[in-house]
Structure 1
Amino acid sequence: MIYVLLTTLFFGIGDALWKPVLDEFEVLPSIRARTIITTCFLGIFALALNEHPLSSSLEYLSAIIPSFLAGFGLLFLIKAFKNSSVSLVITLNSATLAVSQISSFTLFKEDINATNYTLIIVLILVSIFLLNGAKFRIEKGIKYALFSSLLFGISYPLLSIPSESIGSYQTALIQEIVVLVVFSGLVYWKVDKSPPLKKMLLNKNILAVALCSSIGLTLLFYSYTILPVYKVHLITSFVPIPALIFARLVYKERLTRTQQIGVLISLICSYLIVTGFV
């Protein structure tokens, strides 16, 4: 249990720490720099611990497609932070939770209460409407956050499968290698002029984001090996709490009354799922 709680803490703070990074650098080079660091960090862990011997190529291939999805989930998440506040984006974690739960129930043939889940989805839609300022035209930042929720909600249950056979560290490392390859290519093709890579790798904010991501990913995939997938996602539903506290205390972010109600409804949705309402 403690591993999942620590995952929540590191992911929450790591997400909030993207704000100063994006104030200084563009999205694609920032993700590339972050992923170089996380790949090195997780590579050292995987080699040092050697938790699982090298497995068949098929088991490694099973981690590549969900890693690809997770990479674009990260891209949309960072774009969301670029276009909106940390508080609004991170609150939409309840949408990720709902998608991941449905994915888990589908993948692992678990029963699902369709009536109660319909209610949860309706509440999430209401919270999105309120977080959007009670406007029907969805703002760009929230739109990116929803795409991110969809991709993360599908990819992480899928990544729990190779975690059992090749281990949590190797799975996390494969994900980061895939993300690094994808974003190195995107930077090459899409970015005309990027800041010196050395400058970005030594940036304290990028280092902090990478450290939180590395520890969070390692703990997440380890949690998959000791707890049912749905329980891991239930506990990590509280990722918004440390991020919201950090954004309020450090960035002095303020929400309108309408948006505050949206945050409350979103947290209630997470609570209902956590307590077995569905």
Structure 2
Amino acid sequence: MLIVSILLTIILIVLLVIIYKKREETESNLGWKFIGYFWLGGFAFKGDETPLPLGFLLFLLIFRPKTNVKTKKRSAYLGFICFLILHLILPAVERDLFERPRDVVAASDNMFQINFTNDWMTIRDQLKIEERARLVYFKAHYQKNGQIDDLYYYVVSVSGKNSVYYDINFSADTNRYTIRAEKIGVEGLEYVEFVEASRFFEVLDEVQVRNLSLEQPFVGYTLRFDGERIKDTDEYQQKYVILGKEIKTITRDQLPTEGYPINLCGKEKPYELPTGSGVSNRCEANADFFFDD
């Protein structure tokens, strides 16, 4: 965008010089008046973050030049064109370029073999995501051998006005992550209480997904993480605590008062509902695995 800005500035200067040289008559202080009309045509008023061409509207309603009429009008119209470029066209182009989907190759398509931290660091480095970005949601559907059917997660950077929401989808067909980014401004600050993405992936790599298991095997599994710290763990039924590479069963009196729960759901093959209203792929059993910062 810097090169585009430089080119536009050069074109603007050339156009201003051409318009000024084609003035109809000699006039005292015409140069200042010329620049004033240009500034007026490009003046923007921002109401609710939406820029309005207030200067150009004032020019149309109030200003009636009596000398060098064409020159002053052209200057004002050129200012209005600059308003359109700077406040409407360039931001739209910049947004489209920023939000365009980008692909990153994954290390594996198997939940038991994938190195989540390495993949995350590759994504983070290529898209220049801040190191302390927060994980808002994670969900993976995979078979009993670890083969991924579907995997996606959402990450938010929380660096003030530059907060960005990242939608990251893994495709088993291409073995790639597709990332879409969207600027959300200061709204990202509401996610500061969510776990750091790097911490979550560190936990998965250390404990190994294959070790997050249920009491009996199932055809498929769904692993879900909601990102937020839970401060009331009484509602959870079957609970475990992740301590590094270890997974410990906990009794009610050992239940942590708070933590981040990873939910594992076991599923059998989908079957037709007796009513014929659809197909069921419900959880047959589930468990929650808690970890902390």
TM-score (norm 2): 0.23
TM-score (norm 1): 0.24
Instruction: Answer 1 or 2: which has greater strand percent.
Output: 2
- Between structure 1 and structure 2, the one with the greater Rg is 2
Instruction: Answer 1 or 2: which has greater helix percent.
Output: 1
Say which structure, 1 or 2, has more relative contact order (CA 8 Å, 6+ apart): 1
